[in-house]
A and B are shown apart, each in its own frame.
Chain A
């Protein structure tokens, strides 16, 4: 074991939330230590790995797998890091490197709508949050300024300040789809952290259409930028540090974190305040692995709440060929969506949802399809042009109700470090199925309005993951039904905080990162306030 390392604040997980919190605390003069299980990799190396990968449709292909900090993989075959125990597989995808999972995303930075915070009071379903939209409004804006967010202002989430970024110009696809679906469907600009002009030392989007799996020029905000800012702000960073256990004193206060370096040497770090920011599956895993004599069920788990209420947006998709060329693939991959079904009285009956219209290039998938159909030569070339110009794909973000039976636990399997891997139990209930039926009808209506042929729905009864993992560390006033309080502090452990999407009690109908960033900034301010006189 190495000599003790100590800091005022120890943050575990260098994703976007942990990094934002670490930066804010370091700027107040506190010593901050940021531990990351994965390696630090340069953007250019990630670009190279993707360019040289045979699996262009696999968004994980730029991100190297390491047995010391394993991540779920599905291509070419699933690596079974996640032990699937439920009726529906929960195919989580996350990246364990410096910067975290938002290295690959479309920089969707949406606010919840105000009613998302009290669905139980208003509609008799789901859970109320311990805070309201108004409590978060200012933090939403702070996060938007950090990331440079632009979008349609009239999107159901009221704002006191205009977006800090002007919209990225609409692609041809967006213009045509907006026009042809109106007025029945209102297609609006997504709220995205994508530069339309130089901002914060990063250039404007130049339409590489490569947001996922990696923006090659950093026009898009991501966790790698946040993590680098943390390091530049004086945060001490240790990568390849796999935290496997937290220690506590008799009062339940956390005293130390133990980690393995990649050669499996043990290290111990001490601190006054500990913040877990290791994603909504890995953070519960760490809490459960830290079980002790005093806390045999794991930390923050006196009421068996850790890892429960696992939610995502269970998604279905549709693809079809429109009756005119739309040319997907020019501009950002995910520029626009339909938001009119996010809220309403119907929420007491079935799940609300957003409908996302993809602008990702279809050349690769269409070519694969045509080769399978036996096309070659000149005809193949013509057909690739024809179909990839007209192919439209659509998916949804549908709110799943938090169900305590959907949960993360520890499996019997061990990873290369000898640590138990996560086990997931997930099912999609009647409320979501009913909402999904609605979605499917709208898909058909949209296809009809665009003169579609070759309509292909995703397999009925199957749901894909959107990687908007929430609920497992739910905030709440009542320790019997939640893991953390309204500030993200663990019930029963005064100096242990959690940030990230796991603390969100409900998943809403939009991508979850902005809400998690806002909550992380709010938690950071709370820690500053509470430790002012330390």
Chain B
């Protein structure tokens, strides 16, 4: 080979290898971007980013029935975050609930849902958290749960009972869109974390998946396609609108933790993924929403005479003074402010979400907020107006009272779990003694 030929060849090889390098960098960049999207869909920031602190540096307090759990720093910091994690260790945390140091995570981290995720999505998330997130060397407050929940190894036994490690398997009889929706709902967007009721040991009841559960204060309603108890009367289009904007033309408006999930996660997901979620949750619902009737003139029905005023009950009284300016005297809404007449929240098996919205208000990132009335109205007044709204505008028989409102004001009922667990440990100890005695007895016999 001539020198010239050798030069041409080596130049060619150089160009080739450079090209490969560029391609690898592009791939890596695409992987990081994909991971960023998955982190949004998984709503990692909801718990791991605390307002006023750098992204993903943790420290967000999650009040659980067992005490406050602080989210951890998941930035690629070696000292305070997960910078030293290998892909495998990252996967162990995400899908198996085990940290790099071998200790167990609490299921406040929805690893039971993330366990459904595919390997390639784990890899993309890993790439994002290692290279797309700025490291923060600031360690948040440590979680300190009371005995026996501070014994993290107890979670290993819990995982043995409740962690299903089977990855998601698509249903070949269903469309690709349906399977994508199933993958998201069961895995990444972890809907069941709130919407599936939990058993005594705080594990999701698999036979009641997505059938609605109380979070102590806010109620996460039934989101199955059941037309009576769930969202079966919604069109897919309505659900898409709801997940994208926080409200839908069937009158639904999001509040509390769902509004947060929409603001931070669902509203930032691709239309295809939202459509997939709707397809999965409402497989048989019509694709388009029913046309809304044209607004017409309404006759004036109000009468301010003292005689009429005297007939007003206490709940209606509060409604008129504190609610009607925005929601309308007849619950008809105002210029885009939600109508209460026929609002889906009034059809739930509990009035908690109505009371919670009145207590805390509703504060979306964008658009009109609703003011909270916790300082202005008493428990009795909130119970009365809740009942008025449930009955007058929702035709519901569901009832609340001042005691329940007081409980909601305090952040929900305290969990019997702590007591149960402590008693349970004693019980388990007794069982263990019996078991050992029995096995010794058997061995002796054998």
Q: Which A residues fall within an 8 A CB radius of B?
A: 42-45, 47-48, 51-52, 54, 198, 201-204, 206-208, 210, 216-218
Contact = CB atoms under 8 A, between A and B. Distances in A.
Contact of A202 (B317, B325, B335, B371): B371
B325 A217 contact: yes
A207 B371 CA distance: 15
29 contacts: A42-B376, A44-B322, A44-B376, A44-B377, A45-B321, A47-B322, A48-B320, A51-B320, A51-B321, A52-B304, A54-B304, A198-B363, A198-B369, A201-B372, A202-B371, A203-B368, A203-B369, A203-B370, A203-B371, A204-B368, A204-B369, A206-B326, A206-B334, A206-B335, A206-B368, A208-B325, A208-B326, A216-B325, A217-B325
Given A52-B309, A206-B326, A206-B335, A47 B321 contact: yes
B321 A48 contact: yes
B309 A217 contact: no
Interface string B377-407: 1000000000000000000000000000000
B324 to A, nearest CB: 8
What DSSP secondary structure best describes chain A's contact surface?
Answer: loop
Nearest to A54: B304
A169 to B, nearest CB: 12
Nearest to B329: A51
Contacts of B321: 44-45, 47-48, 51
B315 to A, nearest CB: 13
B50 to A, nearest CB: 19
Contacts of B335: 206-207
Contacts of B376: 42-44
B337 interface: yes
Interface string B246-274: 00000000000000000000000000000
Contact of A217 (B320, B367, B371): B371
A30 B158 CA distance: 54
Closest 6 CB pairs of A and B: A216-B325, A203-B369, A44-B321, A48-B321, A44-B322, A198-B369
Given A47-B325, A206-B337, 6 more contacts: A43-B376, A44-B318, A198-B369, A203-B368, A208-B326, A218-B371
Contacts of B369: 198, 203-204
Interface in B331-376: 334-335, 337, 361, 363, 367-372, 376
Nearest to B370: A203
Contacts of A203: 361, 368-371
Contacts of A207: 335
A203 B369 CA distance: 5
Range class of the B interface residue count: 20 to 34
Contacts of B322: 44, 47
Nearest to B309: A52
A361 to B, nearest CB: 14
A368 B323 CA distance: 29
Nearest to A202: B371
Contacts of B377: 44
Nearest to A218: B371
Contacts of A202: 371
Nearest to A228: B375
B383 to A, nearest CB: 16
A455 B275 CA distance: 57
A389 to B, nearest CB: 16
A202 B370 CA distance: 8
Contacts of A44: 318, 321-322, 376-377
Contacts of B334: 206
B357 to A, nearest CB: 13
Contacts of B361: 203
Given A43-B376, A44-B376, A203-B370, A210 B325 contact: yes
Nearest to B365: A198
B128 to A, nearest CB: 30
Contacts of B368: 203-204, 206
Contacts of A201: 372
Contacts of B304: 51-52, 54
Nearest to A199: B369
Contacts of B326: 206, 208, 216-217
Contacts of A54: 304
A367 to B, nearest CB: 12
B309, B322, B370: residue with the most chain A Cβ atoms closer than 10 Å: B322
B439 to A, nearest CB: 63
Nearest to A232: B375
B262 to A, nearest CB: 16
Interface string B300-322: 00001000010000000110111
Contacts of B367: 204
A248 B205 CA distance: 75
A52 B308 CA distance: 11
Nearest to A45: B321
Contacts of A208: 325-326
Contacts of B325: 47, 208, 210, 216-217
A161 to B, nearest CB: 21
A370 B321 CA distance: 31
A70 to B, nearest CB: 25
Contacts of A216: 325-326
A48 to B, nearest CB: 4
A97 B371 CA distance: 23
A201 to B, nearest CB: 8
Nearest to B321: A44
A47 B325 CA distance: 9
Contacts of A48: 317, 320-321
A462 B272 CA distance: 67
Nearest to A198: B369
Nearest to B367: A204
B220 to A, nearest CB: 24
A229 to B, nearest CB: 12
B190 to A, nearest CB: 27
B365 to A, nearest CB: 9
A42 B376 CA distance: 7
Nearest to A210: B325
A52 B304 CA distance: 6
A230 to B, nearest CB: 14
Interface string B156-181: 00000000000000000000000000
A217 B334 CA distance: 13
A374 B367 CA distance: 44
B298 to A, nearest CB: 14
A306 B325 CA distance: 44
Nearest to A217: B371
Contacts of A52: 304, 309
B370 to A, nearest CB: 7
B33 to A, nearest CB: 30
A43 B317 CA distance: 14
A52 B310 CA distance: 12
Contacts of A204: 367-369
A187 to B, nearest CB: 24
B367, B370, B371: residue with the most chain A Cβ atoms closer than 10 Å: B371
